[in-house]
Amino acid sequence: MYRFCEKTGKQQNLLLLNPKDQTDAERFFETIESALSPENLQEDGEISLKQAELKERLIVAKLKSLLEAGWKAPESLVEFCTDMEYL
């Protein structure tokens, strides 16, 4: 899960960062929601099932840490994650 940093001109690994404010947190949640789609998890079939499962666990762990820290996630993401039994 990466995003482009306009300040540095480099990609940032969101798994290693924390949001600065709620707007930033919302960007994290949007990236998480996108990253949890099957085609993104499996990188269009380019990685093994085991690698995709590890990737999924890392993304869900980041999601849980953001929620535990008190950041408010969009309701659609909470519903999706509840349905998928991530939460």
Rg (CA), the chain: 13
pLDDT for the residue numbered 11: 76
Q: Percent helix, strand and coil across the chain, each rounded to 5?
A: 60, 10, 30
Give the confidence band of 3 by pLDDT, cuts at 50, 70, 90.
low
Q: What is the pTM of this model?
A: 0.79
69 confidence band (pLDDT: 50, 70, 90): very high
Q: How many separate domains does the chain show? A: 1
Residue numbers of the domain that contains 19 = 2-83
Per-residue pLDDT of 19-68, as tens digits, reads 999 998 998 898 888 888 888 888 888 899 999 999 998 898 898 899 99
Residues 6+ apart with CB under 8 A from 2: 11, 12, 13, 14
From CA 50, how far away is CA 2, in angstroms rounded?
A: 21
45: left (phi over 0), alpha (psi -120 to 50) or beta: left
CA count, 13 A, side-chain hemisphere, 87: 16
